[in-house]
């Protein structure tokens, strides 16, 4: 009996941000894209700046890599869950958010967590979970 796959793994654009392990870069299911653990680490060096604004810029650049790998853009983003290691960095993130989404921003919630680092020893200020609308073949968004 053949089984129907209800979800598929999506990959970042070549050279872009990737989890490089057992965690998929993203998952497409039910017309949606799901990306977890998007952080502000440089994909080339694996390093993270100590500056929260630079981490936020890099996190959005990494998200863009993931979206492009799935044929989507920032306009497809519907919801962002922001995990903060320290609520005091929320304003720095918000400033970059406004640059990335100057209008028609997706839904967002911010939550302080004990540790935003998926990799021990890293200095992540934030991690993002993102839900986006999967583009259709004729989608011009």
Tell me the pLDDT tens digit for each residue of 55-100: 999 999 999 999 999 999 999 999 999 999 888 999 999 999 999 9
Per DSSP, what are the bridge partners of residue 35?
130
Structure tokens belonging to residue 50: 């100590």
Q: Whole domain around residue 90: which residue ranges?
A: 25-133
Angle at the Cα of 106 from the Cα atoms of 96 and 69, rounded to 5 degrees = 80
Residue 14 located in a structural domain: no
Question: E strands along 12-86, which residues?
Answer: 26-29, 32-38, 77-84
Average pLDDT of 4-13?
79
* CA pair distance 111, 68, nearest whole angstrom: 27
What total of structural domains would you count in the chain? 1
**Other beta carbons within 10 Å of 84:** 20
* CA pair distance 88, 79, nearest whole angstrom: 22
Residue 17 located in a structural domain: no
Structure tokens belonging to residue 34: 């799901």
Tell me the pLDDT tens digit for each residue of 126-137: 899 999 999 875
Residue 111 located in a structural domain: yes
Residue 67 located in a structural domain: yes
As a whole-number percent, the residues of the chain with pLDDT over 90 amount to 52
């Amino acid at each position: 009996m053949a089984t129907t796959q209800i979800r598929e793994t999506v990959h970042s654009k070549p050279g872009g941000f990737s989890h490089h392990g057992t965690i998929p870069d993203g998952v497409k299911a039910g017309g949606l894209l799901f990306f977890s653990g998007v952080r502000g680490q440089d994909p080339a060096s694996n390093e993270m700046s100590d500056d929260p604004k630079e981490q936020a810029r890099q996190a959005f650049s990494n998200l863009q890599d993931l979206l492009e790998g799935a044929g989507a853009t920032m306009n497809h983003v519907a919801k962002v869950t922001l995990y903060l290691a320290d609520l005091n960095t929320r304003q720095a993130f918000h400033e970059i958010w406004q640059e990335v989404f100057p209008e028609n921003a997706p839904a967002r919630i911010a939550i302080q967590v004990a540790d935003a680092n998926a990799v021990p020893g890293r200095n992540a200020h934030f991690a993002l979970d993102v839900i986006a609308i999967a583009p259709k073949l004729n989608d011009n968004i």
